[in-house]
Amino acid sequence: MSVSKLEGLTQCTSCCMYACLEESFQGPYLCSKCERVALLEARIGDLEGQIVTLRQIDNLERSLLLTEQSIVEESRGVGGVELGLLLTEDQDKAEILNDYFSSVFIKEKPITGDMKFINKNLLIQSDWLTQDKVLHKLNNVNVNKAPGPDGIHPRVLRELCVEICKPLFLIFQDSFLSGIVPEDWRKADVVPIFKKGLKFVPGNYRPVSLTSVAGKVFEGLLRDNIQEFIGRYNVIGKNQHGFMKHRSCQTNLITFYEEVSRSIDQGVAVDVIYLDFAKAFDTVPHKRLLLKLRKNGLDENTCSWIENWLKDRVQRVVINGTFSRWTPVVSGVPQGSVIGPILFNLFINDLEIGIESHVSVFADDTKLGKVIQCEQDVTSLQRDLDRLGDWALKWQMSFNLDKCKVMHFGVKNTQAIYTLNGTELGKSKQEKDLGIIIDFKLSNNVQCQTAAAKASKVLACIKRGVHSRDENIILPLYKSMVRPHLEYAVQFWAPVLKKDIISLEKVQRRATKLIRGMEGLSYEERLTSLNLFSLEKRRLRGDLITLYKYIRGHYQPLSDNLFTNRTIHRTRGHPFRLEERKFSLKHRKGYFTVRTIKLWNSLPVEVVGSESVQTFKKRLDDFLQTQNIKGYNI
């Protein structure tokens, strides 16, 4: 690294002045935060003008992210924890957080007769654990992850993957067949991740478990096998979108709000109830979980291994290298484990049984929606809420009633009152659903403003924190750290109003101007030079790719209630044309299932008839380029 880059830097930057005052900064030396910026600039300066590898860019992103959090945002570290008095020592904070995380565990009640199921005993394939698959997993271990309590760094496993493959395979095989899990695999170092709110409140931290990397390699193999089993037998319902192959937050949102959007457009009222489980992953009762695993058909070897994996687990909290004491884990599936999410999905899979309303789930985030046209509809929705309350009581889960809200959509909505476990649910005009802001008009205006503001904030951090303006530095940082804020689930909330389209595009305009040599060029010239599409064209392209997946690809099972094939057959056009939807309101015109159909129907048959997504993308790009299509005319 070029040390000369640091010479002459004897005072702190204005963006760090508040932090300097906190540290009682006195010149002529740099405070730790400004020194970090200077070191980052030195690293970037060494790379400037070179062909930068993806790994180098990844490391730069991590460094920049640390700088961004230190200077622009409030630190993500653990603040002073309050318990009668403010604790500032790492050891004290670790103990308090450890006590809190342990306090949310539940003591499981005896299993009653109505909980027992007839085991299906469906066989799982026997060739899922092989030496070649172990080698493949080891060769793809992420070396940037932290080690577990055993201290074995993931880089060791990756660099020595050939040498340790066979010994690990034999350990994995013996562990699975015997149903005995090594003790080190049942230990976890818990890192508290601040969520939001006051930093001295222990409840505002999420416990993320760091476990043995070798154990997680085996968990990955077992998870792949369980996922293959779930897909083969359709074990998990189509309303669950969390941690499922070919499903995502975006598919969840598009599918659920289709009925809401259509009903609002028709002048019909809809009530949506947002449900929040309290400490869902930490309170899963182990014996009840194992009952459901056997009910869903997992073989006895798998169930026995998972039972031992859950048994006698211990954890400790680590803060800045300081550890709390070990405490037992008596419930829950570890957050941060590999198989934890899929076990939770299997546990919650029967939640929707008997529910008459439209239910949509992403892991533990649950929505309940129903069209309200008469008093009977209100009664039906309330009955479903009562069923969910009974389900939670039976399986020892609990709802966070303060966070459970009802949103009334539609101008003719009667604003009915709903209760859960005897408590009246609060009403909301705006909710954040899977990271997307939803309001009672189903308008995307606030979401567009929020996305543009977040992206602009990160771009400003790059502008202040990165001295280089080299294309090989700025462009990858923009693509990986700024643009995702503008495009997360954007097929659901794509802007309709011109002002929102311009607001999002302005971020990319400013980003491309940062690059050296682009200052005097027009926006279109900058895009051509940098081989970029406008954000508007990227959204259009993403719409058609997503629609292809719904009609011809992996999302096809989810498309039944979203699209209707044309019944009139003509000699012109392709055989996958869809019925165009009628609409009254502009927000409905801009909804994904409406805005995309006209352009989809106009695509040539050789584009729509592509046999794979990659082929479709290539042919689509050629078509859009030939026709000079840059966006919708909404």
Average pLDDT over residues 309-317: 96
Please indicate, yes or no, if residue 175 is contained in any of the structural domains. Answer: yes
CB of 228 within 8 A of CB of 182?
no
How many residues appear in the chain?
A: 634
Its pTM stands at: 0.86
User: Would you state the structure tokens that stand for residue 181, as one six-digit string?
Assistant: 């899990």
Judge whether 482 lies within some domain. Answer: no
Q: 263 and 405: one domain?
A: yes
Average pLDDT, rounded, for the chain: 86
Q: How far is the C-alpha of 226 from the C-alpha of 98, rounded, in Å?
A: 32
Q: Which residues contact 457 (CB under 8 A, 6 or more apart)?
A: 72
Identify the DSSP state of 137: H
Q: Is residue 99 in a domain?
A: yes
* pLDDT(207) > 70: yes
Listed in sequence order, the residues at least 6 apart from 182 whose beta carbon sits closer than 8 Å to its beta carbon are: 171, 175, 212, 215
Taking Cα atoms as reference points, which of 358, 352, 354 lies closest to residue 272? 358
Residues 431 and 333 in one domain: no
Q: Which residues pair with 274 in a beta bridge?
A: 367, 405
Q: What is the mean pLDDT of residues 162-169?
A: 96
Same domain, residue pair 578 and 434: no
Q: Are 246 and 227 in contact (CB under 8 A)?
A: no
Beta bridge partner(s), residue 410: none
Helix crossing, 286-295 with 340-348: angle to 10°?
A: 80
Asked if 209 and 318 count as a contact pair (C-beta separation under 8 A), the reply is no
Residue 181 in any domain: the answer is yes
Tell me the percentage of the chain whose pLDDT exceeds 90.
69
Terminal Cα-to-Cα distance of the chain (whole angstroms): 52
Best CA proximity match to 334, nearest among 181, 471, 443: 181
Task: Count CA atoms closer than 13 A to 202's CA, side-chain side.
Answer: 20
* 112 and 188 both lie in a single domain: yes
* pLDDT at residue 504 in the model: 97
Same domain, yes or no, for 561 and 585?
yes
Q: In which band, very low, low, confident or very high, does the pLDDT at 559 lie, cut at 50, 70 and 90? A: confident
* Dihedral angle of Cα 112, 114, 117, 118, to the nearest 10 degrees: 110
> At CB < 8 A and 24+ separation, what contacts does 73-78 make?
74/199, 76/193, 76/194, 77/194, 77/320, 78/192, 78/194, 78/199, 78/205, 78/319
Confidence of residue 375 (pLDDT cuts 50, 70, 90): very high
Q: Give the C-alpha separation, 283 to 286, whole Å.
A: 9
Work out how many domains the chain is built from and give that number: 4
Percentage of the chain lying above the pLDDT 70 cut: 83
* Residues 139 and 202 occupy one common structural domain: yes
What residues make up the domain containing 62? 3-71
| Cα–Cα distance for residue pair 416/425, rounded to 1 Å | 10
**Angle, alpha carbons 165-167-169 (nearest 5°):** 65
| Residues pairing with 409 in the sheet | 270
Q: Which of 315, 346, 377 is the last residue of a domain?
A: 346
The pLDDT score that the predictor gives to residue 322 is 92
Interval 552-566 mean pLDDT: 81
| 29 located within any domain | yes
pLDDT interval class at 274 (50, 70, 90): very high
Residue 369 included in any domain: yes
Residue 15 pLDDT greater than 70, yes or no: no
Mean pLDDT, rounded, for 312-335: 94
Same domain for 201 and 330?
Answer: yes
On whether both 303 and 173 belong to a single domain, the answer is: yes
pLDDT at 16 over 60: no
Asked if residue 633 belongs to a domain, the reply is no
In this structure, the answer to whether residues 314 and 172 fall within a common structural domain is yes
Given a cut of 70, is residue 68 above it in pLDDT?
Answer: no
Q: Under a CB-based contact definition with an 8 Å cutoff, are residues 176 and 301 in contact?
A: yes
Domain end, chosen from 421, 439, 457, is at 439
Based on the fold, state whether residues 297 and 372 are members of the same structural domain.
no
Q: Are 135 and 162 in contact (CB under 8 A)?
A: yes
Residue 37 has a pLDDT of 54
Q: Calculate the CA 517 to chain-centre distance.
A: 36
Inter-residue contact 515 to 469 (CB < 8 Å): yes
How far is Cα 499 from Cα 17, in angstroms, rounded to an integer?
A: 35
Same domain membership, residue 266 and residue 292: no
Closest CA to 596 of 579, 610, 611: 579
472 found inside a domain = no
pLDDT at residue 535 in the model? 96
Q: 185 in helix, strand or coil?
A: helix
Measured CA to CA, the distance from residue 420 to residue 445 in angstroms comes to 31
Q: Identify the DSSP state of 276.
A: -
**Is 416 found in the same domain as 377?**
yes
- Which residues, at least 6 apart from 172, have a Cβ–Cβ distance to it below 8 Å? 129, 134, 218, 221
Domain's final residue, options 71, 103, 129: 71
Nearest one of 372, 495, 360, 350 to 433, comparing CA atoms: 360
More confident residue, 76 or 149: 149
Among residues 37, 1, 132, the alpha carbon closest in space to that of 465 is found at 37
